[in-house]
């Protein structure tokens, strides 16, 4: 799935190479090409074992800073080379070991699509796998906090997070749920989902570092 995503995003970047200097609406501090730098940088850091501070702002900023002045071909060639090394690591490890990587890559694919104005592939296998990886994390978090069960209802079915019977639910597309988890939606947008009880948007933010947007983002 990761290999398929990498090839798909590579084609997207080449097709829209003239738009890669545009800011990323979902991450305004980055340009489109900075997303490509992050893709390659994550692979390099995993391959080299540079995982101290993984997923922090400083860790990702170093990936982008290293490649800030690189051209599109150099960025994509770097990602291709380092991505193939990650493919081999994935093949050598049990399924699910790289769920966080796939979740992150799916997130940034759609960040890049927003920058170049090319939405699509919202029902990809990578998205389904990312959702299957992240919902148990939500469930574990909510059980640890003693939160009552909440059913996440999308076009593919229902997933329950939290403790006890699901007396409350929220309904939205899987794409919207996934984008909410990483702060790509505002609290107003999350409250606007179809809640069976009082809206509780904090339930749909994975961890505090993913701060909901102050302004709506429609993709």
Tell whether the model's pLDDT for residue 209 goes beyond 90. Answer: no
Q: Determine, yes or no, domain membership for 216.
A: no
The predicted structure's pLDDT at residue 57: 84
List pLDDT tens digits, range 116-166.
999 999 999 999 999 999 999 999 999 999 999 999 999 999 999 999 998
Q: What share of the chain is helix, strand, coil (3-state, %, to 5)?
A: 55, 15, 30
What is the tally of structural domains in the chain?
2
Percent of all residues in the chain with a pLDDT value above 70, rounded to a whole number = 100
Q: Determine, yes or no, domain membership for 65.
A: yes
Tell whether the model's pLDDT for residue 54 goes beyond 90. Answer: no
Span 91-116, average pLDDT? 95
The predicted structure's pLDDT at residue 96: 83
Q: Determine, yes or no, domain membership for 215.
A: no
Per the structure block, which two tokens stand in for 13?
Answer: 């970047």
Q: Are residues 92 and 195 in the same domain?
A: no
Q: Are residues 84 and 158 in the same domain?
A: no
The predicted structure's pLDDT at residue 208: 83
Q: Which of 71, 90, 116 is the last residue of a domain?
A: 116
190 pLDDT tier (thresholds 50, 70, 90): very high
Tell whether the model's pLDDT for residue 64 goes beyond 90. Answer: yes
Q: Determine, yes or no, domain membership for 209.
A: no
How many whole angstroms separate alpha carbon 117 and alpha carbon 156?
Answer: 26
- Closest to 25 measured CA to CA, from 182, 178, 184, 190: 184
Domain that holds residue 140: 125-204
Q: Is 0.75 topped by the overall pTM?
A: yes
The predicted structure's pLDDT at residue 124: 96
Q: Determine, yes or no, domain membership for 212.
A: no
What is the full DSSP assignment across 79-110? HHHHHHHHHHHHHHS-TTTTHHHHHHHHHHHH
Tell whether the model's pLDDT for residue 55 goes beyond 90. Answer: no
Q: Determine, yes or no, domain membership for 218.
A: no
203 pLDDT tier (thresholds 50, 70, 90): very high
Q: Which of 69, 96, 116 is the last residue of a domain?
A: 116
How many whole angstroms separate alpha carbon 204 and alpha carbon 215?
Answer: 17
The predicted structure's pLDDT at residue 7: 98
How many whole angstroms separate alpha carbon 144 and alpha carbon 156?
Answer: 27
């Amino acid at each position: 799935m990761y290999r398929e995503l990498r090839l798909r995003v590579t084609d997207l970047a080449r097709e829209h190479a003239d738009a890669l200097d545009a800011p990323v609406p979902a991450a305004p501090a980055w340009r489109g090409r900075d997303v490509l730098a992050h893709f390659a940088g994550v692979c390099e850091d995993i391959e080299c074992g540079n995982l101290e501070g993984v997923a922090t702002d400083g860790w990702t900023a170093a990936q982008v800073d290293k490649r800030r002045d690189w051209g599109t071909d150099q960025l994509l060639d770097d990602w291709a080379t380092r991505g193939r090394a990650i493919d081999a690591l994935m093949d050598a490890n049990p399924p699910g070991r790289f769920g966080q990587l796939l979740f992150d890559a799916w997130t940034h694919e759609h960040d890049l699509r927003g920058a170049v104005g090319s939405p699509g592939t919202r029902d990809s296998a990578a998205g389904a796998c990312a959702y299957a990886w992240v919902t148990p994390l939500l469930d574990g978090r909510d059980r640890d906090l003693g939160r009552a069960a909440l059913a996440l209802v999308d076009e593919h079915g229902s997933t329950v997070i939290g403790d006890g019977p699901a007396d409350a639910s929220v309904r939205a597309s899987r794409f919207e749920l996934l984008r909410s988890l990483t702060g790509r939606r505002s609290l107003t947008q999350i409250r606007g989902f179809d809640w069976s009880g009082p809206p509780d948007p904090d339930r749909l933010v994975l961890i505090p570092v993913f701060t909901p947007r102050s302004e709506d983002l429609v993709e």
